[in-house]
Structure 1
Amino acid sequence: MAECGSCPSDGKCDNKDTCGMKNNPLNKVKNIIGVMSGKGGVGKSTISALIAHELNKKGFKVGIMDSDITGPSIPRLFGIKDVKPTMSEKFIVPVKSTEGIDVISMNFLVENEEDPVIWRGPAVSGLVEQFWTDVLWGELDYLIIDMPPGTGDVALTVMQSIPITGIVMVSTPQDLVSMIVGKAVNMARKLNIDIVGLIENMSYLVCPGCKEKIRIFESDNIDEFLIKNDLDMLGELPMCKEIVNISNKGEYKLNTEVTEIVSSIVNKIIDKTK
């Protein structure tokens, strides 16, 4: 059972005696936000990093956990290379980004970032659990968990062992992606996890000449999808080189439009997690 006094779910459990949440009593994390898609390649990790950066910019204490053990990308998105976590007594001390965001990732634990992690499901899930219980997160306003795609072992471990405040779903404007994201939505609800809302990534292109929004995907059924799944739209992010440069160079030099969209998305997350 969790140490209730330092658990973000304290006071919200229906039955503390059957609570399966685990915790490190030295950690005092107010809100834990999982970023999930159910589908790979939708920009989930980039959006996790954007949310963390914006929360930090707004003055919150922020950490980010890369729970995509076999495909970690968060260190590169923060421009962190050749750095290893340190140990403090029995706990792992996360790496700090240049902005002061606490980061933990499998990429910090391997010799080279290109080294594959060839592990079976239980080992992967066990490490994710350790990223919560054995890492000294300390006092945080927000811990962002970048979750791997799918509704398998790791997603189940995060939702059943970590006291999630809510899930942010990420999609792109394609029917196939929407269908798979719908599975992730249903999984979260079956496990009684709140869904903060949906972010549609790669929603459109902006014409450099006339500034018109160009929607390159044929499907544009987002309103129907939101109604069907009872979801709030947090925001639509365009395809642009500034966002691409986050993953390519670890640079956060966003244009005015994208900056305003990200700020609006994060403001909605803050309002929904008060």
Structure 2
Amino acid sequence: MSDAKPAVGDAIRAALLIGEPQAKLFAARRIARDWRLGRLFFDLTAPMPDAPARPDRPELLPPGRMPRRGKGGSERGRIALWHAIAHIEFVAIDLALDMAGRFGAEMGEAFVSDFLAVAADEAMHFALLERKLRALGSHYGALPAHDGLWQAARDTAHDVAARLAVVPMVLEARGLDVTPATIERVRHLGDRNGTLILERILDDEIRHVAVGAKWFDKVSDRRDEMPRELWQKLVKLHFGGQLKGPFNDSARRSAGLPREFYAALVS
């Protein structure tokens, strides 16, 4: 019987409260697999934590106190680059889990399926990046990291439309803009393994932005609002209004985020 199964909301909450990185990534992948195989009951009554657990390291710093990374040409610069990307992917695990756990009851089982799949992808990305850091003689937590990435989740915890507008459709979409240049820089350094990792991440992130755009369209339709106008209103309200280019217009368009959405908000 379904009520004999663990609740998916309980599993998501437990994963969010895991601070140790390896344990968190294994938990995220296990939840996605168990949900896909029907081993978890659709129950999301468990309250999501205001913030996920974090490991003792890395030290989290405000954006203004983060050391400059340089261009990644030196060994130290390469480690700093990969550490920064690993931190983004680590926080992205929690962002996807929280999306499913916080808004899944309102949005339905297909929404939960989509964002648990995103969480599993982010966990896989983090595993690849942690392995990369180990190969360079370092590890996740060895350097300080950006403290501001969870702020968008905190600011949009009350509204699924706001969360979709800001997290997949602004923050993750920004990754579509900056990753191609990073790929070229890593390729120029002769790092084939690093190039393949970043190409895989870019392909997956296009799909993640597309998931966010798809569900934002559904929410807009439910609220009887035009998606572009609603998105612009929510970005102005919860992100500060203006976006910075340059933009990877083709990747954004592939993800269902045409230039007409964001052109009016470009600083």
Greater fraction of residues in helix: 2
Greater fraction of residues in strand: 1
